[in-house]
Amino acid sequence: MAAKKTIPFEASARLQRLIGRGLIPNEEMAIVELVKNAYDSGAHRVRIFIQPDQPKEPGFIRIIDDGSGMSESDIERLFMFAG
């Protein structure tokens, strides 16, 4: 079994000012951001399932796409650095 690699998460100083001020201001923009992430992974098709809260179960959003994802290098360079 391969050893797990830890990838640190970094954030720029400017990020603190962005959070809560419009990074993702509402639910609609959150969905747009998820679709953009699918596009960034090379997806041609994206399916979105939204299950509202139920009396005994929390709601959820499921995004399914046909993208190839990101390489480990892409994750370190692009995804694990915010702002």
Taking only the tens place, the pLDDT of each residue in 42-76 is 899 999 999 999 999 999 989 899 998 878 887 77
**Token pair listed for 58:** 């929390």
**Token pair listed for 76:** 């370190």
Say if 59 falls within a structural domain: yes
Nearest by Cα to 48 from 30, 35, 36: 35
Say if 3 falls within a structural domain: no
Say if 7 falls within a structural domain: no
Q: Could you count the other beta carbons within 10 Å of the beta carbon of residue 65?
A: 19
DSSP state of 39: H
Q: What is the mean pLDDT of residues 26-35?
A: 84
**Token pair listed for 70:** 């990101």
Say if 69 falls within a structural domain: yes
Say if 4 falls within a structural domain: no
pLDDT at residue 23 is higher than 70: no
Say if 42 falls within a structural domain: yes
Say if 6 falls within a structural domain: no
Say if 64 falls within a structural domain: yes
Domain that holds residue 52: 30-82
pLDDT of residue 41: 83
C-alpha–C-alpha distance, residues 2 and 56, integer Å: 39
By residue count, the chain amounts to: 83
* Number of domains the chain is built from: 1
User: 40 pLDDT band (50/70/90 cuts)?
Assistant: confident
% the chain with pLDDT above 90: 27
